Each structure stands twice: as structure tokens, then as C-alpha cells.
Amino acid sequence: MGKLGSIIAASLAALATLIFAAASLAQPATVVPPLALPGPYPVACSNVAQDFSRMAPGEDVQAYWEGVPRANNSARYITDLLSDPANTLSFSLAVPSDASIYGSFAGARVPVVVLVCYPTLASNSRADFPLPNGKVVPHMQRSDDAPILADRTAAYPLILFSHGYLGSPLSNDYLDAMSVLASYGYVVAAPFHGDARIAQFQLESVGDLTYLVSHLANFLALQSLRPLELSATLDLMLSHPQWKDRIDASRVGGFGASLGGESLLLMAGAGMTSSIGQSWTKIDTDPRLKAAVGYVPYFGQPVFPAFGRDQHGLDDVTLPFLAIAGTADTTAPLVSTTQGIEHLQGSRELVTLTGVTHGFDVASTNDIFTWTITFLDAEVRHDAAASAKLAQMAAVSGGGDDHAVIAVQQLPPTPNYSGLWWRSPAESESGWGINVAHQGDVIFLTWFTYGDTGTALWVSMTAFKVSDGNYSGTIYRTTGPPFSAAVFDPAAVTRVAVGAGNLTFFDLNNGFFNYTMNGITQTKPITRQVFGPLPTCTWPAAQDLSLDTNHTDIWWNPAESGWGINFAQEGDTIFATWFTYDESGLPLWLSFTATPTATPGNYFGTLYRTAGPAFYNVPFDPDNVTRMAVGSAALAFSDGNHAAFTYDLFGVDQTKAITRQVFRPPGTACY
């Protein structure tokens, strides 16, 4: 165990108790029932056919799977046993030429074999492949058989599976774990890391500085090759003819046992301790990995942490990570795991298994996989129900004694596109624009443009989310009572469909507006119109809208449905577009730039009526846009959700009570 091992072991229980007591404050409190194991799908696996007669008498097959050299130092690896290597998934890893990290393997090529298990059909009649250790590879493919997936048209989420030190996908309980994940609808890809080809020692020995100094080069090479092998496994899956169309590259997760947990964090950009002085070096940064689970994950020893001094090599890692750790583990001590988890920047969970040491705890089987699958479903599949469950999950009933002691969910903010948009200034089409009110999965758009004669024209579209950043809907032209009506009758408002539109956003500030209107199809690149500091808008609103100080939104009078006003507030300036109707009942829009007055909450500006080239003109000439002052407008906000809109237009003076139009409660707030 090393000179410090007994000290660590003696103090570990006390440290774990203190960590649990401190971290469990204000944590989730729901105990959930365990998931059924296995999941709903039968499991099949890729071709790893082997000829076990090639082994010498007395040899252990696991020595080949794990890369353990013979007594005379001659190499062994699973490639020596493969009977159908042409149809076995594999690659040759080109090791970088940095000898300070990769030691004698720098610049070499290392063969790596991969096993893939996946959900299949109940009708899959392919035979299991028996193994000398008593296990079987279920429904294994033979020759060049294609995988039989449960859904042959689906693109599946992928789990990169990284076994523990001196293990393999076929050793111990790893194949069982892969099968459980696959039974819940994941394709699971596991490289045979072959650690013993690189180095052999006990991880506890890393707590002994004397041992570590003499073995550091091999230890660094061992750790650093693993994340490269995981990234290369992902490359293989996304390029292989049998798999490239069956994997969803946007939904890639990881499961790592022991050193496999460290390997996934290194793949995600963590800095690996690379010197006795505990400096750290980044090995890999693969953004395709979206989340990972570590079972008894290795974060190093207190005297020699895995991720630099005080685990600071994790400071900029945003990978969502779940650690399931044993309180009695001296190989991957809980104190080191806790310190590492606290340095991660993304969603992070630490679940402890009371009394569990460094190995698979059979009594905790349901606990381990219920936590694992719930976390992966939430973070890789983005399943809303799993996310909600995870947010409240404190333990799994029955089984072992599991507790969530750190639970930090940092959901990425949902992009919100509320505000004023126009054609990119570089495209020079100043004079028309669109207002976006974005709430939940719905955008209400008002497009301010011009008709055939150059007169003001506005149309609207309720656009529903089709996919991330993509919204589509029907374009309507509306007529109604004139703005001057003493009583605005919403029953007199009519809507006529005049086309269809699509909004495609490729980031928060840029996108395309595609439309067909009155038989004319066009595409306009659009960007936010910036005239001050842009606010950040979020849905759902975190607080009562009446408390908001930024008024960006669509506003109306609920008793007068059919007209409205959009506010885009940047700093202290509000740009307002009022969509209403003229004396003939035809669409009319006006705009004003409202600036604060001496009275808090009050704004004032000049009303302008604008004319310009018809919406379909190519090119649209901004020099032909004219603006005419036609009145004035005042806004008096009593709070963030109520205001009085007073205007003097064409000699008509009126005041309207207005409020935000919330079409997806609780509405969007900007700040």
C-alpha cells in the first residue's frame, strides 16, 4: 500500500463522514425505485471471434485480453487470438512523438481492438460466443455480418466504455456492464486498452513517492494513451461502414471504471499530473464527448493527485460527470474524488456507496445502474423526464447504501432569440426588420416591410420549433379596426394566410429568414440590430415579470386582441414597433425610439411612418426608404409588466393600457 497507505486507510472513514455531512446540506431528497435490469432490449455484440487453441498450456486468456507479457517479456494481446481479424473492429493508434509524456511509445503505433454491444431484436437468432471464463458474447456477429439493431433506421447514442486498469471488455464484470447499458438503447464501444503492454503496478503504489519516482515515465505513458484510444474509437465508429449512419455524433457519452473514469476526463480536456512537482499537461480535448460516468473513478492519491496540484487540472473542464465512489476505497480514495469533483465546472454528481471498496459491489448493482442510466439519459439523450428525476434524486431504494453528496446541475441555457433583427449591415438593407418574441418552443414574429406600392406592410408568423435553432410557421396578413377607433373591436380582426416562413439560427446573433409570401420565395440573412448593450433573455422567466427592468417583449391590451407593440430595449433606449391598422383597416406600422424622461419609468419619442421598396425587390435599395414624423408616443411603466401607451397620431390622442403578451407561461425575461 506504500508508506502513506496505512495513514490514508486509517483516516479515510473519518474524512468521508465529514465530506458527507458538509456536502449533503440542501441536496436532493427523493429516494427513487431501481430501474429494472436488464433494460427493454436484448443485446448483441460485434465480432471478436477467437481461437483459444492458440494459447499455450496453462495460459490465462485474460492475459491476452489485458496485454500481459509472457515471463520472457514477449508480447501478448487479443490480436494473437483473433480468428477473423478482418471483421473485428480495430485500429492502429499513432502515438504522438512527445517522449516526456509517452516515453518509449512516443512515435510508435499501438494496435487496439474494439468490442461493440448494442440493442437488438428479440428475433436475432445469432449464436452466443462462449468464452473460457464462463461468460458469453451475446448474439455475436460472425464473418462480415452487419449488426442487427433494434431500429435499423435510428441513429443511436453512443457510450465509450473504458475499463479499469489491467482489465478488458471481456474480463471480470465489464461485459455485463456493457450489456446493461446496451439494453437501455445505447451503442456501447469498448477498446481493449491492454494496459499491461505499457506498465504493470498497483495503483495504490502511486501513494508511495519512492516507487512513483522510479516508475513515473511508464505511469504517464499508461494514462496518456487511454484517452487517445477513446477518441480513436469514436473516430472508428463514426467512419466505419457498418456504424457511421447508425451513430448520433451529437449524443456521445462515456462510462469508465476506476482508471477509465480518469481516462474520460483526460479525453474531455483535463490536465494530467505530469511531474513529481504536480504540474499538469493536457492530453486530449475531444468536444464530441458530452457527458461521462465514473464508477470508483481514479482521481489519484492525496499525495499525488491525478489532475495536477490540488486537482487544478480540472478547473476548466465543463464535461457533465457523475462519480459513484466507495467510502472504503483506498485505491481511489473518496477524499481525492471529492476534491476533483469540486473543481469541475459543468453539471456534476458525487454518489457514495457506504462501505464499498475498489471493485464492483454486487449488492449495489441496481443502485449503480439506476444512477448511471438516469444520468446518461439526462445529459446525453437530453431526456427531460430523466433531467427532472436527476434533479431530485438522493438515493435508490433497496440494494446498497447509496447517497448523493454533491449534486450540481448546470443546464446549458436554452438559446433565446427575443429582440429586433434586420438584414446584416454588410448587406445594406436598412429600412425593414423583424421582431422576435421567443417563449419556450414558440416564436411570434412580426415582419415590418412594404407592399407593392411601397406603403407600410406588416405580417405575422407563429413559428414552432422543428429542431434546435429551427422554427417554422404560417405567415398571416391581418386587417382590423383603425388605431383611432374609440372602441377597438377584436371581432372585426381578420387573418388571411399569405405564405410560410422558416427561421434558422446558427448562433444567438445570426441566422436566416426563409419565406414564401404571395408566391414569392426568398432567403434573407439576418442579425440582431444592435444600438446599445444587448440584454440576455431567458425562458422560463426566473421571477415575476413585474420585477423586470428590461421591457424587451411583445406587449398588447388583452381586451383588444389584434394589434400590439414590440419593445427592443438595449441599455436605456427602447426601439418600439407598433403594428396596427389605418383608417381603411389595412395594416399600418409605425416606429419610435423612446428615451428616458426625468420621471422614472417614463419614456418619450417621435412616431415615424416609413415607406420603401416592396419586400421582394432585389436588390432592396435603402436609399429609397423614407421616414416621416407623424406624431409622438410616451410610455409610462408602473412595473416590469404594466404600462400606459399614450400617442398623438394624425391628430388622434389616445392612451392604452398594455402588458406583456405571455403565450408560453411564465414568459421570457430579459436583463
Phi and psi based region of residue 663 (left: phi greater than 0; alpha: psi -120 to 50; beta: remaining): alpha
Please count the residues of the chain.
671
- The three-class DSSP label of residue 20 is helix
Residue 204 sits in the same domain as residue 159: yes
Within this chain, do residues 400 and 496 fall inside the same structural domain, yes or no?
A: no
Asked whether residue 324 falls in the same domain as residue 452, the answer is no
CATH classification at residue 243: 3.40.50.1820
Same domain, 484 and 591: yes
Q: Where is the domain boundary, 408, 443, 464? A: 408
- 603 and 515 co-located in one domain: yes
Q: Let me know if residue 364 belongs to a domain.
A: yes
pLDDT in tens, 467-477: 889 999 999 99
Q: Check residue 207 and give its pLDDT.
A: 54
> 504 falls in which pLDDT band (50, 70, 90)?
very high
Q: Are 327 and 16 in contact (CB under 8 A)?
A: yes
Whether residue 212 lies inside any domain: the answer is yes
Same domain, 323 and 444: no
Q: What average pLDDT does range 443-448 have in this prediction? A: 97
Output the pLDDT for position 205.
56
Q: Considering the domain boundaries, does residue 75 fall inside one?
A: no
Share of the chain above pLDDT 90, in %: 81
Q: Which of 383, 408, 433 is the last residue of a domain?
A: 408
Assign 3-state DSSP to the chain and report helix, strand, coil percentages, each to 5: 25, 35, 40
Question: What residue has cell string 513529481?
Answer: 276
Other Cβ atoms less than 10 A from the Cβ of 452: the count is 10
Count the neighbouring beta carbons within 10 Å of the beta carbon of residue 220. 22
Q: Supply the DSSP symbol for 276.
A: T
Among 2-16, 57-71, 278-292, name the one with the lowest average pLDDT.
2-16
Could you tell me which of 16, 325, 374, 63 has the C-alpha nearest to residue 200? 63
pLDDT > 60? residue 449: yes
| Domain presence at residue 146 | no
Rounded mean pLDDT of 7-36? Answer: 54
- pLDDT of residue 257 exceeding 70, the answer is yes
> Is the peptide bond preceding residue 38 cis, with omega within 30 degrees of 0?
yes
Q: Are strands 393-396 and 30-32 parallel, antiparallel or unpaired?
A: parallel
Q: What is the pLDDT of residues 191-247, one digit of tens each?
A: 999 999 988 776 555 555 566 666 788 889 999 999 999 999 999 999 999 999 999
Residues 193 and 325 in one domain: yes
Q: How many domains does the chain have?
A: 2
The predicted pLDDT at position 23 comes to 37
Helix (H) or strand (E) holding 342: helix 334-343
Residue 27 belongs to some domain of the structure = yes
Query: Could you check whether the bond before residue 33 is cis, i.e. omega within 30 degrees of 0?
Result: no
Residue-range definition of the domain harbouring residue 35: 5-41+99-114+155-408
- 552: pLDDT strictly greater than 80: yes
- The mean pLDDT of 244-270, rounded to a whole number, is 95
Report d(CA 514, CA 506) in Å as an integer.
14
Distance between CA 138 and CA 178 in Å, rounded? 11
507 class by beta-carbon count within 10 Å (0-12 exposed, 13-18 middle, 19+ buried): exposed
Of the candidates 615, 212, 665, which has an alpha carbon nearest to the alpha carbon of residue 431? 615
Of 357, 374, 408, which marks where a domain is finished?
408
Residue 375 zone, left/alpha/beta (φ > 0; ψ -120 to 50; rest): alpha
Phi-psi region of 147 (alpha: psi -120 to 50; beta: other; left: phi over 0): beta
Q: Which amino acid is at 365?
A: T
Indicate whether 451 and 580 sit together in one domain. Answer: yes
Whether residue 329 is contained in a domain is answered as yes
Asked whether residue 386 falls in the same domain as residue 462, the answer is: no
Do 390 and 486 sit in the same domain of this protein?
no
Interior CA angle at 430 toward 459 and 652, to 5°?
Answer: 55
pLDDT of residue 152: 87
Per-residue pLDDT tens over the stretch 379-402? 999 888 898 899 899 999 999 999
pTM above 0.75, yes or no: no
- Decide the pairing of beta strands 156-162 and 187-191: parallel
CA distance 230 to 225: 9
pLDDT of residue 383: 87
Q: Are residues 105 and 30 in the same domain?
A: yes
Looking at 12-16, 56-60, 255-259, 634-638, which range is the least confident one?
12-16
Find cell 423586470 and name the residue. Answer: 548
Give the H/E segment covering residue 395. Answer: strand 393-396
- Joined grid coordinates for residue 446: 412580426
Locate 452 and state its grid cell: 407593392
From CA 586, how far away is CA 458, in angstroms rounded?
10
Q: What pLDDT score was predicted for residue 468? A: 87
Listed range (83-87, 122-126, 379-383, 423-427) with the worst mean pLDDT: 423-427
CB 634 within 8 A of CB 574: no
Q: What pLDDT score was predicted for residue 203? A: 59
Beta strand spans in 413-532 (E): 419-423, 433-439, 442-450, 456-467, 470-479, 494-507, 510-517, 520-528
Q: What is the pLDDT of residue 409?
A: 76
- Residues 89-118, mean pLDDT to the nearest whole number: 95
Q: Is residue 147 part of a domain?
A: no
Is the pLDDT at 6 greater than 90, yes or no?
no
Rounded to 10 deg, the angle between the 5-23 and 334-343 helix axes is 50
Catalogue the E-assigned strands of 226-337: 247-257, 271-273, 280-282, 291-295, 300-301, 304-305, 321-326
Q: How confident is the model at residue 11, as a pLDDT?
A: 37
User: Which tens digit of pLDDT belongs to each residue from 578-622?
Assistant: 999 999 999 999 999 999 999 999 999 999 999 999 999 988 999
Same domain, 537 and 649: yes
Segment 139-161, tens digit of pLDDT: 999 999 999 999 988 999 999 99
How far apart CA 453 and CA 545 sit, in angstroms, is: 41
Digit-coded pLDDT (tens) for 537-550: 988 886 789 988 99
Backbone angles phi, psi at 62, to 5 degrees: -65, -25
Residue 319 belongs to some domain of the structure: yes
